[in-house]
Structure 1
């Protein structure tokens, strides 16, 4: 038990407030702690960055503590300014509800939502939408404008003469109030959320007269880029196994140690002496086995080896039916939604990143649709065209 507790408090953990020693004492007291993590549904899928925190929550669940996974359906309509040098695009309630519909199923691959100690799903609109203006003013009275403006990204905006909107200043107060409304003992989140979580800690002291522990996890990064919803390294949990396997295999070698630490339970001795290719295969299998059946993991590895090591084609791929019509390669890529726009398709052709049956496409006007072909888009995406 002591060894398990040390692993929970050390692996992937960046900081514990007020201290790791105090938190360890609380965990060992025999009291069932209420521990939560909040996620704003600003994208249609959770991603590998969320997996870091979900795994930490599962460790606490296995220690028999109460777990709450909070979906910020109210705060998502404001937008968390953390780490952003410009305001997030506002989300409508309809967009937020559409985004969140698959979150529980994805989280359930890590957390238990049934059994003797089930995790609980909550939505912060249940209390934030009911706050009166008087209550919001009272909430705001616990902090100064200077405290809210001292955040690094706000200071960068001030220097760059970029706007800071009032809702962005209020955001950490509302997220902090979540801890009060749920009467939690602990909040777990990425280190980029530390300011918001500490606001919640202060509010719990003022409103409830008790301590709230804050545990921040290390961030999953590729180089200097955080694994997030708007970044180029975005790897959603909704990806099919073969695509996720391919995305992990495309990671740079120097990302391996942190990905192994944060997304697997393996010790360094299991991977540090492997060649990069073999280490990535092991990493991909260790991540995928948490999310998919073993048979799917094996099939994903075989497909990767067939397509990318032996230059074959995948056994399953998106199919576009031309229905006896012909299209330019740009048109078919856009119509099949294999790319985000016609302009992106043109750029890929110009870069030599589009192949038809193994031959590089030279012209964006090349016609397709009169016969069955396979189009390779970039390194990992394939499209079958049926006449």
Structure 2
């Protein structure tokens, strides 16, 4: 029986991964859990450089949840020290340094959000300032002797910046060393990260060996989740993300906006359905039994239910169908008061459904702006006293009372 459970566990662990280094060690750890009840340490680090988590972050969190199911004790590392440097991974220039108050506020928000996905009772939250500040100057110098500048410059993003004459600060060289030292301190058995983190993850193995920890962590890398555009990495700055604390109706609507092709990738990486279930759904779509839109709706329902509940998911679907299929107005529109004779473009910006007056102009010219469900084309229009429903596209609404 345990052999069958071990195989199921290893299949779930390997699902959707981009690369695993030392799968033999992972297999040994999982086997020891099922045969002897021995748990093991799984580390995942998050630098609290932003306040909210999106679906891209949950790719790692869901894999942590799988490890928890099969004997892993999660070490959720909040990089309150490393966030003051900023991970240089994939950056073409030195990151701005965050202040301590912002970092700690973000860290608190992270902790509140991650337990929507992983089991808090099987998680230890740790902050790396606890040991990195204690390293002191002597410890920091000793850490730098474990790795050469030449090897550091082999890293792709550093190499590109060095060859193009762009600045690389010494603190950025320290970042992968500090992240690796976290694994020394925590004596991690496995570390998870995205494919863009490979250099930093391998540093953990290197430093565990250099400091004589007695083990070398296995590494599991997850693919980078594409954003709603299906091209670039999901990112708040690119506005192609689905935040896990967004309103249910927004999570639902944004999920339905993805392409049919991207939908299957989201199913593989984000859904809790088995690969067999997903393959069956795919076959039914190919055979014309299921419409891709229904499959996408089911994914949207699953994601909303995960971060809220089934009732919220069903309400989000009803609201979406009400607005999009029946061309009706949502029931919970934000209300605003504005002064009379306000320029329409400024009104759209002031109520938050346009980012700028220039974007409002463009959207009006393209026929994307409606007042009381009627398209407008006059970019010079002013709103007089009265009540209006302003709309941009199919998802942005505001109720305005002009005094």
TM-score by length of 1: 0.92
Q: CA deviation at 1:352?
A: 3.4
SS at match of 1:215: strand
Which 5+ residue runs of structure 2 have no aligned equivalent? none
**Residue deviations 1:52-96, cap 9 Å, x none?**
111111111122321121111221221111122233332222222
State yes or no: 1:94 paired with 2:101.
yes
CA distance in 2, matches of 1:264, 1:91: 34
| Alpha-carbon separation, structure 2, partners of 1:40 and 1:380 | 32
Shift of residue 141, structure 1, vs aligned partner: 1.0
- Which residue in the other structure is 1:156 paired with? 160
Deviation at 1:147, TM superposition (A): 1.5
Q: Residue 117 of structure 2: which of 99, 110, 116 is its match?
A: 110
Match of 2:150 in 1: 146
Contact 2:26 2:190 in 1 (8 A): no
Q: Please give the TM-score of this superposition, normalised by the length of structure 2.
A: 0.88
Asked if the contact 2:252/2:316 (under 8 Å) is kept, the reply is yes
Q: 1:314 is matched with which residue: 327, 330, 345?
A: 330
Q: Does 1:278 align with 2:294?
A: yes
Which of 172, 176, 180 is the matching residue for 1:172? 176
Deviating more after overlay: 45-54 vs 143-152: 143-152
Aligned to 1:20: 23
1:227 aligned to which of 213, 229, 234: 234
Root mean square deviation of aligned Cα: 2.0
* 1:145 Cα deviation after fit: 1.1
Secondary structure in structure 2 of the residue aligned to 1:226: coil
Q: Does 1:268 align with 2:278?
A: yes
Q: How does 1:39-118 map to 2 (within 5 A)?
A: 39-114=46-121, 118=122
Preserved contact between residue 54 and residue 244 of structure 2 (Cα < 8 Å) = yes
Per-residue Cα deviation, 1:26-49 (whole angstroms, up to 9, x for no partner): 221233111121111111101101
Cα distance in 2 for partners of 1:193, 1:275 equals 37
Q: 1:162 & 1:4 partners in 2: Cα distance?
A: 48
Is there any run of 5+ residues in structure 1 with no aligned partner, and where?
none
Tell whether the 8 Å contact from 1:264 to 1:286 is kept in structure 2 after alignment. yes
Question: What's the CA shift for 1:340?
Answer: 3.5
Bigger drift between 183-192 and 376-385 goes to 376-385
Deviation at 1:292, TM superposition (A): 1.0
| C-alpha contact (below 8 Å) 1:205/1:212 kept by paired residues | no
1:43 and 1:229 in contact (8 A); partners too: no
Cα distance, 1:45–1:135 mapped onto 2, change above 3 Å = same
Rg: which structure is higher?
2
* Paired residue secondary structure (2:386): coil
CA contact (8 A) 1:375 1:382 kept: yes
Q: Write out per-residue CA displacement over residues 116-159 of structure 1, whole angstroms, 9 at most, x where no aligned residue.
A: xx312222222223321111111111111122121222233334
Aligned to 1:256: 263
Q: Distance in 2 between matches of 1:343 and 1:56?
A: 43
Say whether the 8 Å CA contact 1:188–1:214 is kept in structure 2: yes
- What corresponds to 1:374 in structure 2? 389
> In the alignment, which residue of structure 1 is the partner of 2:321?
305
Cα distance between partner residues in 1 of 2:30 and 2:6: 11
The correspondence for 2:369, drawn from 344, 354, 365, is 354
- Tell me by how many angstroms 1:11 deviates: 0.8
Correspondence for 1:5 = 9
Distance in 2, matches of 1:307 and 1:171, equals: 48
Match of 2:202 in 1: 198
